[in-house]
Amino acid sequence: MSSKTIISEQGPFIIGEIAQNHDGSLGMCHAYIDALADVGVHAIKFQTHIAAEESTLDEPFRVKFSLQDDSRYEYWRRMEFTETQWRGLKQHADEKGIQFMSTPFSTMAVEMLARLGVRCWKVGSGDTLSHELLDSMIATGLPIIVSTGMSSWREIDDVVNKLESSGTEYSLLQCTSRYPTPLEDVGLNILDEMKSRYNGRIGLSDHSGTLVPAMVAIARGFNLIEVHATFDRRMFGPDIIASVTVDELGKLVQFTESVVDLDSNPVDKDWMSEKLKGQKELFGKSVTLKADLMVGHVIREEDIVPKKPGSGIPWVDRDKVKGRRLIRDVTKNRLLTWDDME
């Protein structure tokens, strides 16, 4: 498994968020691990729900989508897996070389994931004010990533102060908790402001259902990215509409690798010009005749025109040709040479 971690390196780190896109199927979770690992995603993130620890029968649906769950509480129960099942997912991810992550929504979920050996925490946008949850994560000493989708600046300041005072390594993700997020609400401008205000790594958690915000953020140097992933936009679930496909996610990984190649290989313009000397000659222009001319003709300005390649008398030296006498016949479809003149 790669030793890359989110905090210790500033290179690209792409997180494929599965959330509930598995619709409660353990087999689907394993399939997502295989698929995201195959396209080179750095981390796969699930959500660890324990209904009795985080919800009540009074919790309303954010979107009433379910045809089989009478309440959101029942939906969260259907999204639960046992610790043994979570361990199997973690082991599968380790074997595939993709980092396993899962957002806990209760302190009991934190304790279970800690036993599995997760390497960092992700705080969902709805839990930035859940101090008991943050405290349980901080107590593990692991890095923490915080999504800020519903937070004001004051609330983000409070979270950051809490993390920094405890010596916790942290990252902040600009996020807008709308599903899907219209492009005008993504807020890429906030990335720069976060970078100027805070010491942690800054990135983007995007729910637009397109690659555009993530690609623009990466091009601007913010390459800690989280996006929801699905096998197909025709699948079932509340977050499908805010997800990109696995294949699209693979294209995002390729894009980030290309940006790294571009940024890590500066080019010296003069060195490149010398390296392309042959190409430059091929595309350059040389002195040629406008018409076939016979021996003895004295070359005038109106007799010459520039044509490719640039391996003959350079067009910039055309004044040196004027007034010279041809010592042999020269056709218009070849380069004029100094040996053609006296």
SS3 203: strand
DSSP letters, 255-305, are HHHHHHHHHT----HHHHHHHTHHHHHHHS-EEEESS-B-TTPBP-GGGEE
Domain with CATH 3.90.1210.10 in the chain: 269-340
The whole-number pLDDT of residue 5 equals: 52
Q: For residue 42, which of 200, 224, 212 has the smallest C-alpha distance?
A: 224
Q: What percent of the chain has a predicted confidence (pLDDT) above 70?
A: 97
Lowest mean pLDDT among 53-57, 102-106, 205-209, 267-271: 53-57
Q: How far is CA 253 from CA 16, 22, 256, 317, in A?
A: 11, 22, 5, 51
Model confidence pLDDT, tens digit, residues 2-61: 334 555 567 899 999 999 999 999 999 999 999 999 999 999 999 999 999 999 988 888
13-264: CATH, from 3.30.379.10, 3.30.540.10, 3.40.1170.60, 3.20.20.70: 3.20.20.70
Whether residue 180 is preceded by a cis peptide bond, meaning omega within 30 degrees of 0, is yes
- Distance, in Å, from the CA atom of 124 to the CA atom of 207, rounded to the nearest integer, reads 13
Could you read off the pLDDT of 271-323 as tens digits, one per residue? Answer: 999 999 999 889 999 999 999 999 999 999 999 999 999 999 999 999 999 99
Q: Tell me: domain 269-340, CATH 3.40.395.10, correct?
A: no
- Report pLDDT for 155: 97
Contact criterion met (CB below 8 Å) for 261 and 229: no
> DSSP alpha helices (H): ranges in the chain?
26-38, 51-54, 72-78, 83-96, 107-116, 131-138, 153-165, 189-197, 212-219, 246-263, 269-275, 277-283
Q: Taking a C-beta distance cutoff of 8 angstroms, is the pair 206, 213 a contact?
A: yes
**What is the structure's pLDDT at 7?**
52
**What pLDDT sits at residue 8?**
52
Q: Enter the pTM of the model.
A: 0.85
Pairing assessment for the beta strands 13-19 and 43-48 based on DSSP bridges:
parallel
Which amino acid does the sequence have at 319?
D
Are 72 and 54 in contact by the 8 Å Cβ rule? The answer is: no
Q: Quote the longest CA-to-CA distance of the chain.
A: 105
The CATH 3.20.20.70 portion of the chain extends over 13-264
